[in-house]
Amino acid sequence: MSEAWIINASPLILFARIARLDLFERLTPKVIVPRAVLEEVRAGQHKDPTAATALAWAAERCVPDAAVPVGVEHWDLGPGESQVIAHGLAGSRWVVLDDLAARRCAVAHGVAVIGSLGVVLRSRQRGLLDAAKPWVMKLIEAGMFMDARLLELALKTVGE
């Protein structure tokens, strides 16, 4: 199977809010959204007007939930994060996660991880964005949490 990215709810919602869901498809040949992630977004749609955009986009990339390995269950993550990692274990795949505990679980299981910040940085490196900082600031305005020092270091990696 070719490389795929499995998207969790937080990055899905954030990129819908800044109208840049296209970046996922431009960075990887295949995008996967587990059904549990779709259901998490659907459950919160009454609080978020951009959820409809996220749901429509995700529905076209939705896959059935997978069996969650016991080792992942022990991390006591949410259903979406657990499904993203379970799918990530299934081959040449990256998981797109912002939650720190979920990221640690993925790494502990040998799954490649990228977060919303990483998506913007990679997009900048590949010439899909003229600058990373304005898009990171939009993500922050849309609800992404970011340590100022980490942001500064991250932007230096792309010359900003």
pLDDT in tens, 85-117: 999 998 878 999 999 999 999 999 999 999 999
Q: Are 45 and 51 in contact (CB under 8 A)?
A: yes
| Total number of domains constituting the chain | 1
Residue 144: band (very low, low, confident or very high) from pLDDT cuts 50, 70, 90 = very high
Q: Read off the tokens for 158.
A: 């792309």
Asked if the model's pLDDT at residue 74 lies above 80, the reply is: yes
Asked if the model's pLDDT at residue 42 lies above 60, the reply is: yes
Q: Which domain, by its residues, includes 127?
A: 4-157
The CATH number of whichever domain residue 39 belongs to comes to 3.40.50.1010
Whole-number Å distance between alpha carbons of 70 and 130:
43
Q: Of how many residues is the chain composed?
A: 160
* Helix, strand or coil, per DSSP, at residue 4: strand
Q: Are 33 and 61 in contact (CB under 8 A)?
A: yes
pLDDT at residue 2, rounded to an integer: 56
pLDDT at residue 93, rounded to an integer: 87
Residue 3: band (very low, low, confident or very high) from pLDDT cuts 50, 70, 90 = confident
pLDDT at residue 53, rounded to an integer: 94
